Amino acid sequence: MKIVITHLGNMTELIPVSSIIKNIKNKYSDTNITLVSEYNTLFKYNVLIDKNLSFNEFKEKEEGYDLLINLYPYFPEKLCKNIIVKEVIGFNYDDGLKQFEDIFFEGKRNYDMNIFQLYHKLAGLKWKGEGYEIGYYPRSKSRKNRIGISVANSNLRNYILDKLELKDRKISYIPYKKNIFKRLDELNKCEKIITDDLLVFHLAMSLRKYVHFLQTFPLSLKLELFNSGEIHKVSLGNIT
């Protein structure tokens, strides 16, 4: 069965998509899976995905698929003139660019649902605790007792040192790496991660790290910690 999964959102929203791939393989027999995204190299090491394509590559194809699963509210299907699809599930194409909750929850935010549950429901699957399956194995080795800090707001560094118990712990400030796999390598060097960045949160969780997430903004979906993290709600107005 030829299946194409489309997700034209940002990398933060794309990473959890990897959780549904194995279940799709189990649900449908003899599958061939193509993933279309704006970050088509992200899952190049995932052996369950047969093709990773950018949207520009996909729209130029002349090909047919048995099923299209659209996991992002925006998809310009009119540009895919030579793509034939027998069945479509997930978000409708013509809703325009909106937030997940505006379409799926009819404008009402559901803080009890996480993004894994959302993607599984859109794909006609039931979430049973499945996590990330990026497929990349870092080249670096994890070092015990080392805490990695990756924060976008530099003022949070004082908060981290004052509020979180870091005595006798080796602290490492994670350097920014544009290459996503090099960034995974840097994160993997640490036993625990402290961050206010959702992308770093998902990357660290995919490595099964213990993550302290500093929440400085409202979340539309519940963060899934897999019993390996904590959420600290921080008011930036109280930090100098």
What the chain holds in terms of domains, given with CATH numbers, is 2-122 (3.40.50), 143-238 (3.40.50.2300)
- Of 52-56, 76-80, 190-194, the poorest mean pLDDT is in 76-80
State pLDDT tens for residues 135-173: 999 999 988 888 999 988 877 877 787 777 776 678 888
Check residue 161 and give its pLDDT.
72
State pLDDT tens for residues 210-236: 999 999 888 878 899 999 999 999 877
Q: How many residues does the chain have?
A: 240
Check residue 200 and give its pLDDT.
97
Of the candidates 90, 104, 95, 131, the one whose C-alpha atom is nearest the C-alpha of residue 220 is 104
| Distance (Å, whole) CA 214 – CA 148 | 13
Check residue 158 and give its pLDDT.
73
Check residue 2 and give its pLDDT.
97
For residue 60, pLDDT over 60 is answered with yes
Q: What is the mean pLDDT of residues 64-88?
A: 92
3-state helix, strand, coil in the chain (%, to 5): 30, 25, 45
Q: Is the CB of residue 65 less than 8 Å from the CB of residue 88?
A: no
| Distance (Å, whole) CA 87 – CA 225 | 34
Task: Kindly report the average pLDDT of the chain as a whole number.
Answer: 88
**Which is it for strands 51-53 and 190-195: parallel, antiparallel or unpaired?**
unpaired
More confident residue, 148 or 98: 148
Q: How far apart are the first and last CA of the chain?
A: 56
Check residue 211 and give its pLDDT.
96
More confident residue, 24 or 78: 24
For residue 39, pLDDT over 80 is answered with yes
